[in-house]
Structure formats: structure tokens, C-alpha cells
């Protein structure tokens, strides 16, 4: 016990320390109803929960089990999905009242079709929850109607269909017999794996729920392998063998033989070939993904052994460290058979505890044909049905780990790529409603694209792949969506086709299109493993010059330039399209670098900058993916000219005589920190009018280097500051690829004068306020110094005039040589020194 506990704690710690996650990002994303990805939808406001899907043998009809109905959809033509017929199957009012009396919600008391299978070429079998009282019925395919039971009573659906519409179940038909995994009671406490509609010498079988063969399972899927005559069930349940962890959920695979008829005395009408084993989806030293969500079988290639059959399953985890994550594991049938052929754990019926002690082996549990065995042998297999070893994934590694998406349903397909190699393509449905198309490569999984198939997350959904039609059907509560498995026409160039690394698509150099490999010529090119578009798609051609005359890097051509007209001091935003989420986008300018002080490049590919004469011109957006560099957008940012300035710049010189005169004007100093510019006046004669020749004048702004030699005419012009006193705004234009600045005559001279006057007045007001505040302090410093407290010692008994001014005491020498104060009125005349006149001090 202590050893098991320590092992569990160690496993938890190792899972926290060594958890490895692969950050998978879909290369291309198509939102709901995106025009770049063609999908077909069937919706009807009166029909919901279209989640049970069944495709006919000719793949022209899709049968859909919905709420209170079975639908017949026509899918014979590509891009078409129309309802041809509808078979209503609603509970009666009495059934609905009984369901409400049981405390169930009214919305859950409908008849949700959960089982829909072909029994033969003429009939189909359907089962529904039917207001928490399961019912089943035969359906005549030719008339598309229910077959009435001779007794007139409905078929009992207990053990064939769940009571609750949200409980998961599984069912498969083998030779007209129905094998199901579900619950057999209203509360869902009696899980069963059973066989119904038995024919010939077969009898209906089920598991004995008193033996603890199943522990609160959640059934996911079931598969029949004809050569082995076995049906495999996949589910998750509580692992009672791990008694050191309370309610540890484990994933299981179980098997039963189709020729099992039960024991003669022991295990009568019970399975004698039932065994189960744990499916372990984990990496070394990591916490396992222990809850299975869905699993699908991928048959081997033509001529391959059946033991090479692969099972791809989606697993989640009950551990909080893996919350919201999903993993895909791959199991091989050969490994499953090896585990079932090994040792088994022993269940103590008294303590309900499992042990792994070695005991005498009476028989091999799970072996077909045990129904004729002795009672002692049957008692042995009854207690030894749990395999001792677990089924490990192929290579003991996970095929895919998604930290950002919770996958719920899966479909798998083996594809023969253009290079002749086979690849496995998985279609994974997320909880949020996206379908991920993923290819498994040697270096790891690669998500080719994601397609949003429904807007809101769905609680119950299903996925069905038709390889022959080349579509994936997705059923949800809102309707049925048909998604083509390939989207080759979306890739318009060889680079996009190769970088997609879609094994279904290849590039045809002759037609210069990306086509489907199965329908295209044999000389298609593709690189699924590396996506080396640089080596496959590059051609030794010389790229054209840009509009500005600058030669671009070899083999990189940009789309036609888009002109963007802006005003000075305006924030400019240039957007770069996103062709791939795996590509890194950046902006470039001809012969210059984008300084981070002037430009802001966002992660979404946009570029922000302030429009100014130095920032006008060409901008190109490039992306780099797998070493392949391509130009996505090209912009020519120009200053927006006024109506007058636009009129004077000739746009066409055809049938005109043109004379151009160029004159150099003064050098204009600019603000501090920038270089001075020279204004060159260009006068052009564009024709003759009624009054003589028509002239146009533009001014070109040329920067003058402060470190190099100056023009010999600039010495005197440098001292002319008229342009500084009256700054003028300029408009730019482009003539023969050169950037010109055309003055528009607008000035801000009077605005500058007004601001200056207001500034001076504000300073004067502040100065006067400061002087006024300092005035009392100055008066105090200029007043005479007076000794305090002398008035109380002299003339205390003499009456004072209340209106008289205060007196000042003056010390006068007495006859005894002592000082005697003498009160002097302040109203008496004083000398210039502040004392009484003619009085010695």
C-alpha cells in the first residue's frame, strides 16, 4: 500500500516537472461561412439535434437521427444537401406528461435518436430516448416508413439506447445483430455491454452487473474486425485497481467474441469472452491523459495484415495541470492482442480488491469458444477479466498534444501523397466548433487548416468521414455541415501550394494550378515533410524594377503598388495581408531601414507611422515561412495635393510642346536637428493658349548636406530668414520617380504673431503678481525698530486719549546716573533721524 502511494505521488511530481506541450497553430483559419472555404449546411428551424449520422452504401443518401424525427438528405451531388423525406417520431402527450412527472425538463423529454444502423439491404434499425423511456423500431428503406410490430406494441429499447439524451452510448451491427454499450436503467447505474436481435443459435447476451465488470463507464466507440470475429468497445471508467487514489478515471478497451453464446450452467446468458485492459496515453515521466473522448479505427493499406490496424484516440485529463488540453494517441491492434494474451489480475470477491499474484492458469481469458468450457474454467474467466499490463501507444509517445484546444471527435484517413509516400490525415473537431485538418509528419503534427463549422459550442456532436465522396459530415444541434476534405484551389501559387504541406494537394507546373493528387497528373510536385517552396517553386527569372526604379531582390516580385494619399502629420496605417499564421511578416523600404523611432510594426502585420516628407515613398511587406520569402503587398505613400496644385502638374504630355526651365532658389534652413533644404523652381511650358504660352511652376525640395560642399550660390541665401519668419506648408508630387514639394501658399505667420503676443502678456501678468506679493515684506523691512513692552512702565496712572497715536519710550539719563524712561508722543515733531529735534541721544 505504501509503495503504491509513493508511486502515485512520484508520478504527480514528475508530471508537473516534465510536462511537454507542443504549441500547434493552424496555418490557415477560415471563420464561419468564410468565402475562402466552401462548405454546405443543412439547417431547419423546426429540426434540432441532428447528431446521429449514417451514409448509405452508394453514398448518395445521408440518414440523420434528429429530435423527434429521422431525416433523409440527398447528398448525391457535390455541394448539395437537401432534405428529401422526413419520418416523424414524437412521444405522445401521455409520455411527455410522465416524463415531466419524473422531474425532467420538458426540453429533454423529446425523442432523441441515438441508434441508427442498417440491418440489411432493406431495413434499418433506429432507437431513441423517447421521453426517458427508450423505444426502438425497424424502418423500411424502400418506403422510408416504420415497420409495425405484429403485437402492436413498440420495441423495448432498454439496454439498447440510453434514457438520458446526454448520456453517451455506442452501437454496431454485425450480421444483423446489434451490439451495444449503454446503461440499462433510468438512473444510469446499470451499465451493460449486450447483444440484441440475435439470430439462429445465438442468444441475447449481456454483462452481469453484480460482478463489477464495469465501474461507472462512459462509452465512446465500438469496432468490429471481421477476420477476428471480435467486437472492441472503448470507454472510460473508474479504475478500482488504483485504490490509493479516489475515483481515478482510466481508459479501457474491451472485447467480446461474436460467436459467444454464454455458458451452459455458469454464466448463462452472460458473456464468457469479456476481457478489458487499460489504454495508457502518456509520455515517459508525465501525467497520463486518462479520459478517452473519441477513437477511430484506421485499417491497414491494401495487402497489409489486420494486426497493423491502428486506433487513433482523443484523450483528456482529469488532472488540473492538464485542464483544457487534449492529446492524440495511436494504438496498434497487435499490441492490444498481446496484452489480452498475457497475465490477468485477480479480483477478491470478498474485499473487491485486485492483486497480481501468479496462480494456476485454467484457461486464457478472452479466448473465443469458451462457452463449451467446464464450470471451473468459466469461474476462472469470470474472476480474471482485467489484463495485468496496459496497452502502450505506438512508440510510447503521443502523436499530438494540443495545449489550446479541447478536441471531442476524430476521423482519420490514409492519403497517398504526390511523392509516393503515405500520410495519415486527422480531422479533429474542437469544443469551440472548429474542424482541424492535421497531417502527421516525422517531425511532428502539422495543422494544415481550421474551418469553423458552427458558431456556438455544441454539447452533443458527431463527425463522419466519407473517403469516396471526399467530404466530412459534422452533425450538431444546429444542423449538418458538409466540409470537403481538400481545398487545393485556394492556393493560387506554387509557393502557397507547397507551403500548405497538404498531402491531398500538389502543384501542376503545366497548368500552373494546385490540384487534387487523386485526380491530377502524375508529375505533381509537393513537399509534405519540409514544405521547401524555395527549392521547388523558384524560377531563374529577373524580377522587374519597382516604380521608384529600385531593383528588388532577385526572384521576389511584388503585386502592383497601391497608391495611398495622406496629409502631413497624419497617422498612416498600412495593412499587410495574412497568408499564413506560421509566416513572419515585416516591412521594408527601398535603400532604407525602418527606424523603430519612426515606425511601429504590429504583430498583426500592420505598420504605423507619422506622415512627413522623410516617410513618404514606397513600402513593401514581406513574409518568411520555411525560408521562403515573398512579397505580399506594396504601397506608394504620397502627400495629398490640393486642388490647385493638382491642376498645375500635367498628367499627360501627348500632343503638347513642353519646355522646362529649372532655377535654383535659396537654401531654406529648417528647424534644429534637421538638415537645410534647397528649393528648386521648375517652370514648364505645357502649351499655348489664347493669351500666349501656358506655364506651370513647381518647386522641388532638395536636402543639402551639412558636412559636404555647398552650392556656391548658397552663401548669400543662407542669411535670408524670410522662410523661417513665414513658414509654409508644402504638398508633394512625383515626377519621373522623384519626390517633389509643391507649395500651396498657406502660411501661419499671423498665428505665430498672436501666440507670441499672448505669451508676452502672460509673462507680464505673472511678473506683476510676483511684485505685488513681495510688497508687504519690503515694507516691514523699511519700518523703524521699536523695543516692545516699554509703555507699561511709564505713565501708568495718566489718562490717555483713545484717539491718540501710540507713544515711544526714550531712555534719558537721570541725576543718579540711572536710565529713566520718558514717554514721548509720536505726534510730536521728529528730526530726520527719527528722534525729537534738539534732543541729545
Whole-number pLDDT of residue 312: 98
Give the structural domain span for 680. Answer: 643-649+656-704+714-749
261 pLDDT more than 50: yes
Out of 613, 639, 665, pick the residue that ends a domain: 639
Integer Cα distance of 400 and 412 in angstroms: 14
Whole-number pLDDT of residue 351: 78
Q: What nine digits make up the cell of 401?
A: 498534444
Out of 727, 749, 771, pick the residue that ends a domain: 749
The answer for residues whose C-beta is within 8 angstroms of residue 119's C-beta and 6 or more apart is 125, 138, 173, 176, 197
The answer as to whether 209 is a domain residue is yes
The answer as to whether 309 is a domain residue is yes
Whole-number pLDDT of residue 549: 38
Radius of gyration of the chain (CA): 46
Question: What is the value of pTM for the model shown?
Answer: 0.73
Integer Cα distance of 841 and 826 in angstroms: 17
The answer as to whether 146 is a domain residue is no
Q: What one-character-per-residue DSSP string does 494-506 give?
A: HHHHHHHT-TTEE
Whole-number pLDDT of residue 779: 59
H-helix or E-strand spanning residue 398:
none
The answer as to whether 93 is a domain residue is no
Whole-number pLDDT of residue 698: 43
CA distances from 232 to 15, 171, 241, 437, 563 (A): 30, 11, 22, 27, 65
Whether residue 693 sits in one domain with residue 630: no
Tens of pLDDT, residue by residue over 106-126, are 999 999 999 999 999 999 999
Q: How many CB atoms lie within 10 A of CB 772?
A: 9
CA distances from 332 to 29, 35, 290, 296, 791 (A): 32, 40, 18, 12, 119
Count the helix, strand and coil residues of the chain and give each as a percent rounded to the nearest 5.
Answer: 15, 35, 45
Beta-sheet strands, E only, within 738-830: 738-747, 807-813, 819-825
Integer Cα distance of 141 and 251 in angstroms: 37
The answer as to whether 221 is a domain residue is yes
- The answer to whether 205 touches 283, Cβ cutoff 8 Å, is no
Whether residue 727 sits in one domain with residue 579: no
Task: Report residue 102's pLDDT band, with 50, 70 and 90 as the boundaries.
Answer: confident
Whether residue 739 sits in one domain with residue 603: no
Q: Which of 66, 203, 87, 206 shows the shortest CA–CA distance to 138?
A: 87
Whether residue 288 sits in one domain with residue 359: yes
Average pLDDT over residues 490-501: 94
Least confident of 113-122, 143-152, 405-414, 446-455: 143-152
The answer as to whether 796 is a domain residue is no
Tens of pLDDT, residue by residue over 759-789, are 989 899 888 888 888 776 655 555 544 444 4
Q: What nine digits make up the cell of 343?
A: 497475465
The answer for residues whose C-beta is within 8 angstroms of residue 263's C-beta and 6 or more apart is 270, 272, 371, 373, 375, 378
- How many domains does the structure of the chain reveal? 3
Whether residue 356 sits in one domain with residue 264: yes
- The answer to whether 514 touches 426, Cβ cutoff 8 Å, is no
Whether residue 274 sits in one domain with residue 221: yes
CATH of the domain at 619: 2.60.40.10
Q: What nine digits make up the cell of 106?
A: 420538458
Whole-number pLDDT of residue 747: 57
820 pLDDT more than 50: no
- The answer to whether 196 touches 176, Cβ cutoff 8 Å, is no
The answer for residues whose C-beta is within 8 angstroms of residue 602's C-beta and 6 or more apart is 608
Task: Report residue 75's pLDDT band, with 50, 70 and 90 as the boundaries.
Answer: very high
The one-character DSSP state at 537 is: H
The one-character DSSP state at 641 is: P
**CA 75 to centroid of chain Cα atoms:** 31
Whole-number average pLDDT of the chain: 79
H-helix or E-strand spanning residue 773:
helix 749-782
Whether residue 333 sits in one domain with residue 227: yes
CATH of the domain at 364: 2.130.10.10
Whole-number pLDDT of residue 800: 40
Whether residue 699 sits in one domain with residue 616: no
Whether residue 224 sits in one domain with residue 348: yes
- The answer to whether 64 touches 44, Cβ cutoff 8 Å, is no
Average pLDDT over residues 682-702: 45
Task: Report residue 830's pLDDT band, with 50, 70 and 90 as the boundaries.
Answer: very low
Tens of pLDDT, residue by residue over 151-199, are 667 788 999 999 999 999 999 999 999 999 999 988 888 999 999 999 9
Question: Could you identify the residue written with the cell 458473456?
Answer: 271
Whether residue 700 sits in one domain with residue 578: no
10 Å CB burial of residue 765 (0-12, 13-18, 19+) is: exposed
231-240, 455-464, 668-677 — most confident range = 231-240
6-10, 93-97, 766-770 — most confident range = 93-97
Can you tell me whether residue 509 is helix, strand or coil?
coil
Q: Which of 100, 155, 163 shows the shortest CA–CA distance to 129?
A: 163
Whether residue 672 sits in one domain with residue 592: no
The answer as to whether 353 is a domain residue is yes
Whether residue 665 sits in one domain with residue 600: no
The answer as to whether 217 is a domain residue is yes
Q: What nine digits make up the cell of 283?
A: 509520455
Out of 354, 372, 404, pick the residue that ends a domain: 404
Amino acid at each position: 500500500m505504501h509503495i503504491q502511494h509513493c508511486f502515485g505521488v512520484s508520478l504527480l511530481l514528475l508530471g508537473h516537472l516534465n510536462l511537454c506541450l507542443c504549441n500547434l497553430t493552424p496555418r490557415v483559419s477560415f471563420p464561419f461561412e468564410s468565402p475562402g472555404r466552401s462548405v454546405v449546411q443543412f439547417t431547419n428551424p423546426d429540426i434540432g439535434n441532428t447528431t446521429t449520422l449514417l451514409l448509405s452504401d452508394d453514398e448518395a443518401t445521408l440518414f440523420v437521427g434528429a429530435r423527434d424525427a429521422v431525416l433523409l438528405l440527398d447528398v448525391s451531388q457535390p455541394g448539395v444537401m437537401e432534405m428529401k423525406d422526413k419520418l416523424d417520431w414524437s412521444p405522445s402527450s401521455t409520455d411527455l406528461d410522465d416524463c415531466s412527472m419524473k422531474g425532467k425538463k420538458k426540453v429533454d423529454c423529446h425523442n432523441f435518436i441515438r441508434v441508427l444502423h442498417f440491418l440489411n439491404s432493406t431495413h434499418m434499425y433506429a432507437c431513441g430516448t423517447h421521453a426517458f423511456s427508450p423505444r426502438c423500431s425497424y424502418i423500411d428503406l424502400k418506403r422510408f416508413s416504420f415497420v409495425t410490430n405484429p403485437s402492436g406494441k413498440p420495441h423495448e429499447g432498454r439496454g439498447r439506447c440510453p434514457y438520458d439524451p446526454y448520456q453517451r452510448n455506442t452501437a454496431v451491427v454485425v450480421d444483423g445483430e446489434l451490439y451495444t454499450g449503454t446503461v440499462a436503467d433510468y438512473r444510469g447505474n446499470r451499465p451493460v455491454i449486450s447483444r440484441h436481435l440475435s439470430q439462429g443459435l445465438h442468444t441475447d447476451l449481456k454483462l452481469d452487473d453484480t460482478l463489477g465488470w464495469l465501474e461507472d463507464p462512459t462509452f465512446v466507440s465500438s469496432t468490429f474486425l471481421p477476420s477476428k470475429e471480435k467486437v472492441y468497445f472503448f470507454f472510460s471508467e473508474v479504475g478500482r485497481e488504483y485504490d490509493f487514489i479516489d475515483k481515478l478515471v482510466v481508459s479501457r478497451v474491451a472485447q467480446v467474441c461474436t460467436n459467444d453464446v454464454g455458458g451452459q450452467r455458469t454464466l448463462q446468458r452472460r458473456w464468457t469472452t469479456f476481457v478489458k485492459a487499460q489504454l495508457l496515453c502518456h509520455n515517459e515521466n508525465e501525467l497520463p491523459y486518462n479520459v478517452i473522448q473519441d477513437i477511430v479505427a484506421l485499417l491497414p493499406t491494401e495487402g497489409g495484415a489486420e494486426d497493423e490496424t491502428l486506433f487513433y484516440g482523443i484523450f483528456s485529463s482529469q488532472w488540473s495541470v492538464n485542464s483544457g488540453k487534449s492529446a492524440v494517441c495511436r494504438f496498434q491492434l497487435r499490441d492490444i492482442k498481446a496484452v489480452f494474451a498475457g497475465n490477468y489480475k485477480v479480483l477478491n470477491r470478498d474485499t473487491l480488491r485486485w492483486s497480481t499474484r501468479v496462480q494456476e492458469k485454467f484457461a486464457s481469458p478472452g479466448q473465443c469458444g469458451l462457452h463449451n468450457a467446464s464450470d471451473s474454467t468459466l469461474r476462472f474467466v469470470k474472476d480474471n477479466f482485467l489484463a495485468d499490463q496496459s496497452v502502450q501507444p505506438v512508440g510510447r509517445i503521443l502523436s499530438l498534444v494540443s495545449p489550446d484546444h479541447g478536441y471531442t471527435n476524430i476521423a482519420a484517413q490514409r492519403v497517398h501523397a504526390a511523392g509516393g509516400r503515405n500520410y495519415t490525415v486527422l480531422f479533429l473537431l474542437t469544443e469551440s466548433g472548429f474542424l482541424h485538418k492535421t497531417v502527421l509528419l516525422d517531425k511532428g503534427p502539422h495543422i494544415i487548416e481550421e474551418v469553423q463549422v458552427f458558431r456556438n459550442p455544441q454539447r452533443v456532436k458527431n463527425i463522419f468521414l466519407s473517403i469516396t465522396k471526399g467530404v466530412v459530415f459534422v452533425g450538431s444541434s444546429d444542423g449538418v455541415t458538409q466540409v470537403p476534405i481538400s481545398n487545393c484551389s485556394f492556393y493560387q501559387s506554387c509557393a502557397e501550394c507547397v507551403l500548405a504541406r497538404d498531402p491531398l494537394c500538389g502543384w501542376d507546373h503545366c497548368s500552373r494550378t494546385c490540384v487534387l493528387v487523386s485526380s491530377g497528373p502524375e508529375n505533381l510536385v509537393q513537399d509534405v515533410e519540409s514544405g521547401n517552396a524555395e527549392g521547388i517553386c523558384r524560377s531563374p527569372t529577373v524580377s522587374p524594377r519597382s516604380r521608384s526604379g529600385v531593383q528588388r531582390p532577385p526572384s521576389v516580385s511584388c503585386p502592383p503598388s497601391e497608391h495611398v494619399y495622406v496629409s502631413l502629420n497624419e497617422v498612416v496605417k498600412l495593412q499587410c495581408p495574412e497568408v499564413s499564421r506560421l509566416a513572419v511578416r515585416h516591412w521594408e523600404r527601398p535603400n532604407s531601414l525602418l527606424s523603430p523611432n519612426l515606425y511601429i510594426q504590429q504583430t498583426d502585420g500592420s505598420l504605423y507611422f507619422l506622415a512627413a516628407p522623410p516617410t513618404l515613398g514606397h513600402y513593401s511587406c514581406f513574409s518568411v515561412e520555411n525560408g521562403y520569402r515573398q512579397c505580399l503587398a506594396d504601397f506608394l505613400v504620397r502627400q495629398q495635393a490640393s486642388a490647385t496644385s493638382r491642376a498645375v502638374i500635367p498628367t499627360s504630355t501627348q500632343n503638347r510642346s513642353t519646355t522646362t526651365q529649372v532655377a535654383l532658389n535659396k537654401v531654406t534652413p529648417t528647424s534644429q536637428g534637421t538638415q537645410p533644404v534647397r528649393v528648386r523652381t521648375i517652370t514648364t511650358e505645357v502649351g499655348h493658349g489664347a493669351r500666349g504660352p501656358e506655364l506651370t511652376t513647381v518647386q522641388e525640395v532638395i536636402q543639402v548636406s551639412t558636412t559636404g560642399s555647398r552650392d556656391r550660390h548658397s552663401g548669400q541665401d543662407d542669411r535670408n530668414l524670410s522662410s523661417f519668419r513665414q513658414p509654409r506648408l508644402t504638398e508633394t508630387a512625383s515626377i519621373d520617380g522623384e519626390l517633389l514639394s509643391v507649395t500651396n501658399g498657406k502660411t501661419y505667420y499671423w498665428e505665430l504673431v498672436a501666440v507670441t503676443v499672448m505669451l508676452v502678456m502672460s509673462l507680464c501678468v505673472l511678473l506683476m503678481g510676483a511684485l505685488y506679493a513681495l510688497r508687504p515684506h519690503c515694507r516691514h523691512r523699511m519700518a523703524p525698530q521699536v523695543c516692545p513692552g516699554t509703555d507699561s512702565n511709564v505713565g501708568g496712572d495718566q489718562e490717555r486719549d483713545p484717539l491718540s497715536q501710540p507713544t515711544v519710550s526714550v531712555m534719558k539719563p537721570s541725576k543718579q546716573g540711572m536710565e529713566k524712561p520718558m514717554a514721548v508722543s509720536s505726534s510730536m515733531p521728529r528730526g530726520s533721524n527719527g528722534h525729537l529735534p534738539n534732543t541729545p541721544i
